Structures are given as structure tokens and as C-alpha cells.
Structure 1
């Protein structure tokens, strides 16, 4: 579905910590995607994950708040599960033994491109349709953010 589309630069993702964009998936749904820096020299400089915890349909990145990154992990604001920024794998909390849904990107000359065949770039930022409608999570996490 997607042609290669330039998203942003690696420098921007590293400076901002995260970068959010919206795609149209192969089910004709708008899906938010989170770019995060990856410090593993054997992987791309950034990785892209669907902006949704695997335990519940909880957004990891919230407008006005961003995503919480700590020690190479993305922290779920509701239950505190932490996902490795490079692999998407979670080894703790309610989402333990799961992996975030990946979106294919590639880095070339410091620029990040969307290359996923099942995603068509729509725009930078959050989805215009707020499907969770609650304005934010009610945290039950044992982790202070």
C-alpha cells in the first residue's frame, strides 16, 4: 500500500525523544505510530511501533504529554509495563512476554523513511479520531512518572 515516504530525521527523533505520525493501515483504519531512538549498534538508529500497549488499547504516546522513555524502554502510562525501544519486547508487568506491533521503516543518510507495505503515511502527529475518548489513562502503575 505504501511507497517509500520520508518521515523525519534521526536527529529530530533523538532530540525530541519520540516522533508520532499517523498512517492508514491495510484495514482502512487510521493508526498512530511512534518513532523512538534505538541505541543498539546492530539495529536501525530508530524503530517504529504502533502507539498501543499490548496489554490494553492504551496509548503509549499521549498528546501534550508524549511518551515516557527510561533506560532504553517505553513505559506504558497505565500499568507501568516497559517495552524495549529496539525490540519492542516487554519482560514485566501486565504486558510481560509480549512485543509491540512494528511498522517497517528504514534509515538512509540520517533520514527516516516509512517502507511498510501495509501502511500509507497520512500526517505527522496523532490521529484525528480519538478512539479511546477518555482524555488519558487512569494509572494503576506502581511506577512514578
Structure 2
């Protein structure tokens, strides 16, 4: 899922991906193409432990956001600090 959040530099789309009790969060921006990863607003292709960029097929690990294959080699998604408290996902304050 994606949510829009207000960050110090402005509003951004953030990907939230639940893995059991853990939630990973990244900016919804492909580090290679600079475009959103979703193929439709808030809709992502997740396959075989990979988050796939809709723009050009780059694949990122759902565990850490590292590029696994495609033109993004050596790049990773920008992680966002989140925590889960009593089932709620909270974005940690960015300074």
C-alpha cells in the first residue's frame, strides 16, 4: 500500500509493506528512473520477495529495499523510519 505523508521537504508517497509483524517503508521513488514504482496509485507488483518497478522492471528486495536486478544495480530504495505500536504503523519524526 502507499500513503501520502508530509515530510520536511514536502508531500511524498511512501510504500508500506507488512512482513509478518514487521513493516518496511520506502519512498515511492525508483532510484534509477526517479519515477513512482506503483503501476496504479497504491498498487504494486510484489513477486518472489521482490518489489518490481512498473516503469522499467527494476526489482528490489522486500526485506531491505536493495536492488536485486535490472538497471538499478548498486542502488536501493530510500528507507523511511517506521515502527508498529499496538497494530498501528507510525512514521518516526524526521529531523
TM range (shorter): 0.7 to 0.9
Residue 92 (structure 1) shift: 1.3
**What SS is found at the alignment partner of 1:34?**
strand
Whose RCO is larger (CA < 8 A, sep 6+)? 1
Q: Does 2:88 align with 1:111?
A: yes
Report the Cα distance in structure 2 between the residues aligned to 1:110 and 1:117, rounded to whole angstroms.
21
Query: Which of 53, 56, 62 is residue 76 of structure 1 equivalent to?
Result: 53
Query: Which of 12, 16, 19 is residue 38 of structure 1 equivalent to?
Result: 19
Gaps of 5+ in 2: none
**What SS is found at the alignment partner of 2:4?**
strand
Deviations 1:54-109 (A, max 9, x none): 1011211232x711100121101122111111200002111111110111100123
1:127-142 equivalent positions in 2, closer than 5 A: none
Larger Rg, first or second structure (1 or 2)? 1
Higher percent of residues as strand: 2
Change (3 A) 1:68 1:107: same
**What SS is found at the alignment partner of 1:87?**
coil
Deviations 1:20-43 (A, max 9, x none): 11122222x21100101236xxxx
Hey, what does 1:24 align to over in structure 2? Answer: 6
**TM superposition score normalised by structure 1:** 0.59
Gaps of 5+ in 1: 1-18, 119-145
Report the Cα distance in structure 2 between the residues aligned to 1:94 and 1:77, rounded to whole angstroms.
13
**TM superposition score normalised by structure 2:** 0.86
